[in-house]
Amino acid sequence: MAIIDPRHAAKQLIYERIFRSATLSAAVLVLLILGGVFISLLGGAWPAVSHFGFSFVTREIWNPVTDEYGALAPIYGTVVTSLIAMALAVPTGFGIALFLTELCPPLLKRPIGVAVELLAAVPSIIFGIWGLFVLAPVLQRHVQPWLIEHIGPVPGVGKLFMGPPFGIGILTAGLVLAIMVLPFIAATMRDVFDTVPPMLKESGYGLGATTWEVMWHVVVPHSRVGIVGGVMLGLGRALGETMAVTFVIGNAHRISSSLLAPGTTISSSIANEFTEAVGDLYTSSLIALGLLLFIITFTVIAAAQAMLRRLERRAASSV
Q: 3-state SS string over the chain?
A: CCCCCHHHHHHHHHHHHHHHHHHHHHHHHHHHHHHHHHHHHHHHHHHHHHHHCCHHHHCCCEECCCCEECCHHHHHHHHHHHHHHHHHHHHHHHHHHHHHHHHCCHHHHHHHHHHHHHHHCCCHHHHHHHHHHHHHHHHHHHHHHHHHHHCCCCCCHHHHHCCCCCCCCHHHHHHHHHHHHHHHHHHHHHHHHHCCCHHHHHHHHHCCCCHHHHHHHHHHHHHHHHHHHHHHHHHHHHHHCCHHHHHHCECCCCCCCCCCCCECCHHHHHHHHHHHCCCHHHHHHHHHHHHHHHHHHHHHHHHHHHHHHHHHHHHHHHC
pLDDT in tens, 112-162: 888 888 888 888 899 999 999 999 999 999 999 999 998 888 888 888 998
Q: What is the pLDDT of residue 87?
A: 94
The residues, any chain, with a CB within 8 Å of residue 318's CB and separated by 6 or more, are none
What CATH number has the domain spanning 52-318? 1.10.3720.10
Which candidate, 131, 158, 162, places its Cα nearest to that of 145?
Answer: 162
Mean pLDDT across the chain? 88
Q: What is the pLDDT of residue 319?
A: 58
Strand-pairing partners, residue 69, are 62
Q: What is the pLDDT of residue 31?
A: 93
Which range, of 192-196, 259-263, 288-292, averages the lowest pLDDT? Answer: 192-196
pLDDT in tens, 196-224: 888 888 888 888 888 888 888 888 888 88
Band (283; pLDDT cuts 50, 70, 90): very high
pLDDT in tens, 95-104: 999 888 888 8
| pLDDT surpassing 90 at residue 241 | no
Q: If you average pLDDT over residues 247-272, what whole number do you get?
A: 91
The residue among 19 and 315 whose pLDDT is bigger is 19
Q: What is the pLDDT of residue 158?
A: 85
pTM of the model: 0.88
**Domain segments of the chain as ranges:** 52-318
Which range, of 39-43, 153-157, 246-250, 284-288, averages the lowest pLDDT? Answer: 153-157
pLDDT in tens, 163-181: 888 899 999 999 999 999 9
